Amino acid sequence: MMRSRAILAAALLLAMPLAANAQDETARPNLEGFWNLPFAQTPAVPEDLKAKLPPDTAVLDDTGAYEFPRGEFGGLKLKPETLAKAEKWDPSQEMALTRVCHPPAVVYAMQGPFPFEIHQTGELIVIRYEYFDQTRLVFMDGRGHPPEDAPHSAMGHSIGHWDGDELVVDTTHISASTITNNGLDHSENIRMVERYRLGEDGQKLYAIQWFEDPDTLDNAGARFLEWNKQEGQYIYPYECDPSFALEYQEIDGKD
Amino acid sequence: MNRPALILAASLAVFAGAAAKAHHSFAVYFDGEKIITLKGTVKSFRFTNPHGLIVLEVADDEGKRVEWRSETNAPVVLMRRGWRRDSVKPGETITIDGWPARDGKPYIRLRSAKKADGKMIGTTLFDETDG
């Protein structure tokens, strides 16, 4: 029952009219560029875009620099075992040598305060995130997702289509990872759907990020997102150095 | 363990507002309601992601040297705020402020750093508006 409700909700958000696929490629919005978060602002996502979220969706108010403290999950309904795991979470493990350069998966990573570049063709959209040097491919050539048992990854497998002037991206095969960076993890069966829309002057990019993971949550989650276009900028190499963790461990040795 | 009360030239202030997202949880690691200030001698400065790090030797009230570590924002962020790999040099005296670790360890998240002449390093503070 829960699974079928989630599938219906995702279908509503995905809404792929035939007219959208028939749209002339040259008339499609151009999302190319360097996009950065407008810090310390509530995302000004258009109301009609927000209204496309399915019902029973908790909108998380942790976009950008703000993070939830321990024990706060923004209205997400955690299954008992998920909550128990979150309560046992040991944050010091995030500073271990084996973890410090482990990139979070796309559900959390895409909404953080780091910029990204979009490179766009008719059949493929590439999103390069500065955060942990992650690259994401959004296939626009009509292919489907791979089999359920195909390898999972932090960026997952994304397929996209145009719905009028909105880019709709459906992502599966995402590795289990954090949702809120405070002990709440999703499973590898999470599904994420995003809708992107350019602002009228082409200098702003708005999005809604929706996700459902019946393995860990009893409702769906979403975020509203907004980025500014910055001409002439490009993402820098991140090249995470795990030896940073040794510095943190060194503190105890000075007690 | 080094206690905040032992820090020479330390101050404590209430800081209203949340603070910045890190690769690890800022809200869990650091007290976003407090700012402490430290003046000392730089032992080392690393400029690698996920965080830069300043190791600062600070004299306490009794003259004992205490080693503090100050985690910075990711250097990709620092670069856009005017910081460079050699912005802080071993042996120089600087004053830093930031949010203290919740566990009481001599570890803070950097908000700002000033040279001995009082000039701020970089173009702006790192605060709740930063990545």
pLDDT digits (tens, 9 = 90+) for A168-180: 999 999 999 999 9
What is the number of H-type helices and E-type strands within chain A?
A: 6, 12
Q: Which residues contact A151 (CB under 8 A, 6 or more apart)?
A: A173
Distance CA B92, CA A45 (A): 47
Residue in B1, B128, B131 closest to A112 by CB: B131
Averaged confidence pLDDT in chain A:
90
Q: For the segment B93-117, what is each residue's pLDDT rounded down to a tens digit?
A: 999 999 999 889 999 999 999 999 9
Within 8 A of A66 by CB-CB distance, chain B residues are: 18, 21, 128
| Binding-face residues of A in 198-237 toward B, CB within 8 A | 235-237
How far apart are the C-alpha atoms of A202 and A224, rounded to whole Å?
A: 18
Indicate if ipTM > 0.85. no
A79's CB contacts (< 8 A; 6+ apart) are A215, A216, A217, A218
Interface residue of A34, A35, A39 to substitute, partner B, most B CBs within 10 Å: A39
**How do the domains of chain A map onto residue ranges?**
2-250
Output the pLDDT for position A190: 98
% of chain B at pLDDT higher than 70: 79
Confidence category of residue A138, pLDDT binned at 50, 70, 90: very high
Interface of chain B toward chain A, CB-CB under 8 angstroms: 1-2, 18-21, 23-29, 46, 48-51, 53, 55, 67, 69, 74, 76-77, 79, 105-107, 128-131
Angle at A14 between CA A41 and CA A103, to 5 degrees: 55
Is a pLDDT exceeding 60 seen at residue A19? no
pLDDT tens-digit series, residues A74-123: 999 999 999 999 999 988 888 889 999 999 999 999 988 899 999 999 99
**Structure tokens, A158:** 């994304």
CB within 8 Å: A244 and B130: no
Residue B48: the pLDDT is: 96
pLDDT of residue B58: 96
Smallest CA–CA distance from B78 into chain A, residue: A236
Distance CA A206, CA A216 (A): 28
Test B24 with A94 for CB contact under 8 angstroms: yes
- Residue A16 near chain B (CB below 8 Å): no
Query: pTM (2 decimals)?
Result: 0.87
B48 closest CB neighbour out of A68, A236, A241:
A241
Q: Are the Cβ atoms of A65 and B19 closer than 8 angstroms?
A: yes
Interface of A with B in 102-121 (CB under 8 A): 104, 112-114
One-letter amino acid of A176: A
Judging contacts by C-beta atoms under 8 Å, the chain B residues touching residue A251 are 69, 105-107
Q: What is the mean pLDDT of residues A189-195?
A: 98
CATH for B4-114, options being 3.30.565.10, 3.40.1360.10, 3.30.930.10, 2.40.50.140: 2.40.50.140
CB atoms within 10 A of CB A55: 9
Average pLDDT over residues A1-13: 62
The rounded mean pLDDT for chain B is: 83
As a whole number, mean pLDDT of residues A206-227 equals 96
A 128-167 residues inside an 8 A Cβ radius of B: 130
| A120: number of Cβ within 10 Å | 17
> What is the tens place of the pLDDT at every residue in B52-76?
999 999 998 888 999 999 999 999 9
pLDDT higher than threshold 80 for residue B34? yes
Q: Within an 8 Å CB–CB cutoff, is residue A250 touching chain B? A: yes
